[in-house]
């Protein structure tokens, strides 16, 4: 039976010091513990312990380093959330455009287009919940139902799918029958060649998006290794075989960030993902990139080298308008 009792912040600090963690500024530590729970911070000092059973810290372990890891992770989540937003919007746009033209604007309701009809039914149930919530809040959905009150269908895809999550979009795409032309077209436009690879990429990115949205730890976290990598990607990837992630390394965040970078390079060629990641490591020098599965000289690989002369996304000059 669980018998541990609650500790005050002062008792928490005393316990940490007893176990060997250096806390030079106790007043500041109390301030942090007033806003970040002991249990949450524990996910970051766990690796600093030489004895995980008795929670004894390694020599020279510092509370400041724990906070630095926590802050690094928080800023990493914000960075990845921003990157994933661009991927999500692109995927949503392509699903709406290609499938509405190939089929009709209500393709997402047609169970004949999907492999797993049970999974599709669950996806539709989730869509209905999202639309019901939006019906009272989103003016576009509210106006649609008012104007088309006799139409019992969902709003068309360009309205409905704007209300859905990345996870739902990923499920819709992955569950489409392979005979549907748009499934390969979308994969090709995103550099995944065909439908074989893209579903696993989207599933992993959707899961990481959920971690970001719920403020869950990404640093030093094991992730499900389900992604499929292209043997010969049509766009810049990793050339040094030593740096190409192996199957057993897919649990690390790095391979998933590589896939995000690969997609982002297609969606927004002049992105600053590499520069922002390098800035983050410079800001927090005590963070070991290896904890994320990052290779030596990762930033020198073609995948991560950002073009300096790509002006395709820059604002037009007055003379060009």
Let me know if residue 231 belongs to a domain. yes
Q: pLDDT by residue (tens digit) across 168-199?
A: 999 999 999 999 999 999 999 999 999 999 99
Q: Cβ(254)–Cβ(294) under 8 Å?
A: yes
Q: pLDDT tens across 148-166, in order?
A: 988 888 999 999 999 999 9
Answer whether residue 311 is part of any domain.
Answer: no
* Predicted local distance difference test score (pLDDT) of residue 4: 80
Q: Is 105 in the same domain as 236? A: yes
170/240 same-domain check: yes
Same domain? 81 vs 230: yes
Find all residues with CB under 8 Å of 57, minimum gap 6, and list them.
16, 19, 20, 21, 45, 48, 49, 50
Claim to verify: residue 16 and residue 101 sit in the same structural domain: no
State the Cα–Cα distance between residues 157 and 177, nearest whole angstrom: 18
Same domain, 14 and 103: no
Residue 246 confidence class, pLDDT cut points 50, 70, 90: confident
**141 within domain boundaries:** no
Per the structure, the count of domains in the chain is 2
Coil, helix or strand at residue 86: helix
CB-based burial label for 67 (10 Å; 0-12, 13-18, 19+): middle
Q: Within this chain, do residues 48 and 84 fall inside the same structural domain, yes or no?
A: no
136: confidence class by pLDDT, cuts 50, 70, 90: low
Same domain, 184 and 57: no
Q: List the structure tokens of 125.
A: 């149930």
Boundary residue ending a domain (61, 85, 103)? 61
The parent domain of residue 216 ranges over 70-114+165-300
Q: Is the torsion defined by CA of 221, 293, 303, 223 positive or negative? A: negative
What digits encode the pLDDT tens for the residues 91-105?
999 999 999 999 999
pLDDT of residue 140: 87
Exposure string over 71-92, b if 16+ CB within 10 A, otherwise e = ebbbebbebbeebbebbbebbb
- Please indicate whether residue 245 or residue 54 has the higher confidence score (pLDDT): 54
Residue 305: inside a domain, yes or no?
Answer: no
Q: How far apart are the first and last CA of the chain?
A: 72
Cα–Cα distance for residue pair 20/97, rounded to 1 Å: 59
- How does pLDDT run across 53-83, given as a tens digit for each residue? 999 999 999 999 999 999 999 999 999 999 9
pLDDT at 309: 47
Structural contact between residues 202 and 91, judged by C-beta atoms closer than 8 angstroms: yes
Whether 320 shows a pLDDT value over 60: the answer reads no
Residue 214 reports pLDDT greater than 70 = yes
In this prediction, residue 18 carries a pLDDT of: 96
Say if residue 196 is in the same domain as residue 251: yes
pTM as predicted: 0.91
Residue 311 pLDDT exceeds 50: no
């Amino acid at each position: 039976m669980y018998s541990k009792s609650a500790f005050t912040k002062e008792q928490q600090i005393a316990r940490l010091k007893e176990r060997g963690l250096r806390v030079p500024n106790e007043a500041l530590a109390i301030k942090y513990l007033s806003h970040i729970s002991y249990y949450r911070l524990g996910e970051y000092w766990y690796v600093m312990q030489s004895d995980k059973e008795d929670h004894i810290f390694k020599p020279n372990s510092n509370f400041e380093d724990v906070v630095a890891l926590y802050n690094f992770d928080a800023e990493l989540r914000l960075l990845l959330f921003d990157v994933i937003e661009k991927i999500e919007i692109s995927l949503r746009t392509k699903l709406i455009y290609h499938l509405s033209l190939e089929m009709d604007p209500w393709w997402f309701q047609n169970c004949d287009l999907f492999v797993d009809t049970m999974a599709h039914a669950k996806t539709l149930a989730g869509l209905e919940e999202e639309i019901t919530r939006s019906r009272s809040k989103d003016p576009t959905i509210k106006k649609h139902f008012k104007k088309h009150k006799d139409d019992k269908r969902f709003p068309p895809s360009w309205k409905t799918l704007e209300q859905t999550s990345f996870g739902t979009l990923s499920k819709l795409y992955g569950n489409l029958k392979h005979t549907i032309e748009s499934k390969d077209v979308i994969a090709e436009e995103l550099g995944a060649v065909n439908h074989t690879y893209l579903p696993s990429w989207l599933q992993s990115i959707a899961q990481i998006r959920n971690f970001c949205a719920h403020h869950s730890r990404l640093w030093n976290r094991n992730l499900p290794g389900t992604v499929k990598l292209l043997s010969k990607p049509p766009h810049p990837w990793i050339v040094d075989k030593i740096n190409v992630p192996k199957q057993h390394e897919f649990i690390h965040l790095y391979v998933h960030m590589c896939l995000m970078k690969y997609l982002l390079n297609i969606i927004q060629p002049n992105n600053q993902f590499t520069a922002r990641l390098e800035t983050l490591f410079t800001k927090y020098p005590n963070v070991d990139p290896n904890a994320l599965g990052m290779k030596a000289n990762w930033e020198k690989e073609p995948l991560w080298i950002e073009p300096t002369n790509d002006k395709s996304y820059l604002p037009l000059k007055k003379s060009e308008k």
